[in-house]
Structure 1
């Protein structure tokens, strides 16, 4: 793609983003903007493109800003991979940020190309066009209220946010076009440095022994019940679950690093040792992940569900899936597919999490817990996002009024339309919260 075309594509992409993106909240405009950007870049990989669009589409489903922010970051990474691709773990890591890194060197290339082609003549008509529109659009808007209202609904105000969006997306499109037009470098595998068997087998074997002892205790704990924990640890079962969860999560993540390093440095002649030790370590870590999930489940049963607890449980489930994939790769002794599978499963997991809608799910579980036990934390439920409103509207009075009385859901235009907010507005219209009984 020529520099002139890249320049015009970047300007068009930035302008479309400034019109379409609802920065204040998740909405349909995020998906529309991503679709426009991919259409402008054109030379993209369909698999990563579809995954990126799915991640941005969550803006039309979930209203929780935290969950959607995770999806936006992952969507940008998948979008970058749609431009440059990636096979190995290193390639995927670099590819997920390639478009961002490509922006600074793309700007001087763009300036040199435009200058060399003599297309600086295009600057004059572009400036004149902008000047003409700047004069006549306000005049016509002042002459007719309906036309002014149409402009107000379709064109955002020109402020600092508009300029930031225009520049960010426009420069991103320029970087993506520059990368898409460059020949893909040949993949040349680097020299693999291996170490002696004892250098990796001894630490891994020590971990296997340590994990075996720990898993033995966990099996006794899980089947021994609350009485066993109180006798041995002097705490309640819920306190025991809360105290150990984060440590077990850290163990599961760090063990992945150990497995990756050992698989990298082990000699191919040590296949039997590699398969035996890493397979045992993977299976034991799966038991530890199951223990962490069991602890979180016990904790939630004792104290109720929260959005954070749902998110970390989802993270643990994804880690369990990753370890299962590692186990399959170890059995086959072929792991070239593993880095992409791990990344894709993580991105799809985020999409699934958005479809589940953590705040709505948390509200459902807390309402179910109240129906079963009579226990409910209204102060926490009041702090959930509007995703939870339709569920909270099913509570009886006066609890419903208590959790919904200060709720307000702003209206959406075509850019910011969101299914969760739409359902929340309907639920609020039907419930009419007026007061909170103490």
Structure 2
């Protein structure tokens, strides 16, 4: 019967499952375990090979009914081989290798500054031309001393960069104009101490013009931007050269032929006319090995800066200056006591300064026991350092102080505002001391410079007070740098040595007191004022400059101040006399 045949066929299957469970208890791998489980392909091949062998056996032992029953039981047999047996309590839990923390190596080619992406292509033809023009201008126009050649070389460099960058914005144009104005002092001022400072200021202005910057971080990068961009532009320029392919020999042949023609025809024309020959000699400077090294250095620096500026235009950095900084965690009770102590101390000092200002020289002599000039000299430098250090204290507290609630903001305004106002009075006291000091001894260049610095600090404190009212100082760093640059440029344009000499000459006409030893150390900038002195003071102040002669080696070192000084010295008599200063000791 069909039911009986089906039951008989099911009994061997149950016995096979029981044997498999018994084998798993003994620890021997059984059919379907992970150790011996065949793959899907193996199971399909095995089923295909076994079915033809099992079917005839079933047909021989049973009739047609049994064969049909066997075919019906074949389906559970496949399920048993594909299903894993239940876990046994006698079998240990399989152990798998533990996976440690995944260490992701840095991706190759990530730049040192990920926020500054390099260009994807090589340097274009324009960049190579700009670098070549700027390098040649720096090599052949920049003289060893200050002169008009520096300004001309800067014009070529700035013009080449604008040729590549296009029309500048108003802000960039102002910074570039400041850079050129500083280098113009090379032929407008003769003082040797002025020009190195002007070169540094010009480099800073040019870098900020191309790199930009508003916050402290942005301005620091802006001041160094061209130098960093010049270093990063080396592979960019190399890729541009490799893209152009071999240059060939024809350009070099053309340059060689031009030089040969210039030499032949220039020599003939110079021999034909003596004036033209002297003109050509003035155009060609006399060079030694040191001169060639200097030319190579100046040319390399100029090309380096021009290509760096072009790199900044092509791949500007993505400094997120608009991102809000982390909120400060300095509580009111953390900074109230230190800042409050300074406020009380400064208030006491300001009170004594008011007494000095209203009491005058009599009060100082009775209280301090010194002259008014000695009193003024003894405290100026200390007050200058107080003004500078207090600015750092205000900046630090404003940066790290918490300002979430209205109470925290009120305390911050009161404490820092009081400190800024009192420091502003201290700055005014330092300026008044310097004014009294120069009335006693006269002006010097150093006194004029530090007084100008004090005036600039007063402007900075006014801006700090203004930013403290709204507690927003995003504009303050750039305003400080901009006003500092403007003040220094104004002082240089003012011609500090001539101002000092003119004031001392006017003071001599009123008091008959003058320090000719100091005035004789000034440069040609002071000559227009010193020629007004009578003898022997005039000769004492001008004889070193009279005997100095012409320091200009070629036309690149031409200087307007030295030119005017030679004309002035040629119109007055300067003799060798014995000179004594009206002042003795250190002043």
- What TM-score do the two structures reach when normalised by structure 2? 0.70
Choose which of 212, 237, 248 in structure 1 pairs with 2:383: 248
Which protein has greater RCO, CA pairs closer than 8 Å, 6+ apart? 1
1:153 to 276, 282, 305: 282
Partner of 2:11: none
Aligned pair count reads 435
The corresponding residue for 1:175 is 308
Query: Could you tell me which residue of structure 2 aligns to residue 423 of structure 1?
Result: 564
Q: Given the alignment of the two structures, is residue 199 of structure 1 paired with residue 334 of structure 2, yes or no? A: yes
* Aligned pairs (5 A) from 1:85-164: 85-115=212-242, 117-119=243-245, 121-122=246-247, 124-125=249-250, 127-129=252-254, 131-132=256-257, 135-145=260-270, 149-156=278-285, 157=287, 159-164=292-297
Question: Which secondary structure does the structure 2 equivalent of 1:323 belong to?
Answer: helix
Aligned residue number for residue 29 of structure 1 = 149
The 3-state SS of whatever aligns with 1:234 is: coil
Say yes or no: does 1:364 pair with 2:502. yes
1:354 aligned residue (484, 492, 495): 492
- Of 392, 399, 402, which residue of structure 2 is paired with 1:264? 399
Query: Which ranges of structure 1 fall in alignment gaps of 5 or more residues?
Result: none
Corresponding residue of 1:166: 299
1:137 & 1:200 partners in 2: Cα distance?
A: 75
Residue in 1 aligned with 2:357?
A: 222
1:348, CA displacement in angstroms? 1.1
Partner of 1:40: 160
Q: Higher helix share goes to which structure? A: 1
Q: Give the gaps of 5 or more residues in structure 2.
A: 1-121, 580-587
Partner of 1:398: 536
Q: Secondary structure at the match of 2:308?
A: helix
Cα drift, residue 70 of structure 1 = 1.8
Q: How many angstroms apart in 1 are the aligned matches of 2:486 and 2:433?
A: 25
SS in 2 for 1:192: coil
Corresponding residue number in structure 2 for 1:9: 130
* Greater displacement, 310-319 / 261-270: 261-270
CA distance in 1, matches of 2:471, 2:345: 25
Distance 1:107 1:212 in 2: 57
How far apart in 2 are the matches of 1:124 and 1:231?
87
Higher radius of gyration, 1 or 2:
2
Q: How does 1:313-392 map to 2 (within 5 A)?
A: 313-392=451-530
Cα offset for 1:233?
2.6
Whether the 8 Å CA contact 1:55–1:347 is kept in 2: the answer is no
The alpha-carbon deviation at position 113 of structure 1 amounts to 3.1
Query: Residue 411 of structure 1: CA displacement?
Result: 6.8
Q: Which moved more, 1:98-107 or 1:348-357?
A: 98-107
- Paired residues of 1:329 and 1:335 also in contact (CA < 8 A): yes
More displaced, 298-307 or 407-416?
Answer: 407-416
Q: Could you list the per-position Cα deviations for residues 298-352 of structure 1 after superposition, in whole angstroms to 9, with x for gaps in the alignment?
A: 2211122111111111111111111111122222333222211111111111111
In 1, the alpha carbon distance for the partners of 2:549 and 2:315 equals: 46
| TM, length-normalised to structure 1 | 0.92
TM-superposed CA distance for 1:365, in Å, is: 1.1
Once residues 123 and 224 of structure 1 are traced to their aligned partners in structure 2, the CA distance between those partners, rounded to angstroms, is 84
Match of 2:550 in 1: 410
In the TM superposition, what is the alpha-carbon distance from 1:428 to its structure 2 partner? 0.7
Distance in 1 between residues matched to 2:131 and 2:254, nearest whole Å: 18
- Aligned mate of 2:447, from 295, 303, 309: 309
